[in-house]
Structure 1
């Protein structure tokens, strides 16, 4: 019998409560501590999204992109295609910072309509349209 399991992307932060609040508001989700572990906050929503925010007092924001190595991780937040502009306004109002083409390391390509940002702690994330999602 296979043991039931799930995967959780965990982001490090010197201020996990603030970062967890950012993602909870952006994803219309809730924040809960991981049981008695106050170092890890779990964000979950009605769509089953789970994201972890871990306290790391020595955390330094990622340097992305760096020419000498590849991006390590980032979060894709998928939305209905017709809600992309609204999702972008919401993310920015919550403290997201759009990445410029130079910071992206790529030319802007609106054919894909993937929009790239940094969260308040400097992690990169994308807003991307998902054809199967309804508004």
Structure 2
């Protein structure tokens, strides 16, 4: 092993806003905030973290349109997909692909990054 994965970093126009969205969704708290340019959320020291960095020229992906494809996405396991969907929509997400019988639904976070609720 050369190293271990420390954090996943998402570019976005407003790191604090996106950190608040994912903090609520994943039950994580802000561990680091560098003037709103770089915000890191996590649970406990040493655990994997999720970070957000400001990109003033950020252009969200247009999934599934290949003109601006996604770079990565998060799969978030949930117990009750209906309750989870209501919660993420209440936080500002939007549906990209609803129920399809595949065991996941696709959403966009407030900055446009796709993520899946997996059930």
Secondary structure of the residue aligned to 2:42 is: strand
Unpaired segments ≥5 residues, structure 1: 102-107, 130-135
What is the count of residue pairs matched by the alignment? Answer: 117
CA distance in 1 between partners of 2:73 and 2:22 (Å)? 13
CA RMSD of aligned residues (A): 2.5
Q: Which residue of 1 aligns with 2:100?
A: 109
In the alignment, the residues of structure 1 paired with residue 62 and residue 21 of structure 2 have an alpha-carbon distance, to the nearest angstrom, of 20
Q: TM-score, length-normalised on structure 2?
A: 0.81
Q: Does 1:96 align with 2:89?
A: no
Contact 1:43 1:49 (8 Å CA) reproduced: no
2: CA distance, partners of 1:113 / 1:76: 11
Alpha-carbon distance, 1:123 to partner: 0.5
Contact conserved, 1:27 with 1:45, CA < 8 A, in 2? no
1:85 maps to which residue? 82
Partner of 2:14: 15
CA spacing shift, 1:33–1:26, aligned 2, 3 Å: same
* Divergent runs of 4+, >6 A: none
Residue 132 of structure 1: aligned partner = none
Tell me the equivalent position of 2:41: 43
Gaps of 5+ in 2: none
Deviations 1:77-115 (A, max 9, x none): 1123xx2211111111111101147xxxxxx521x2201
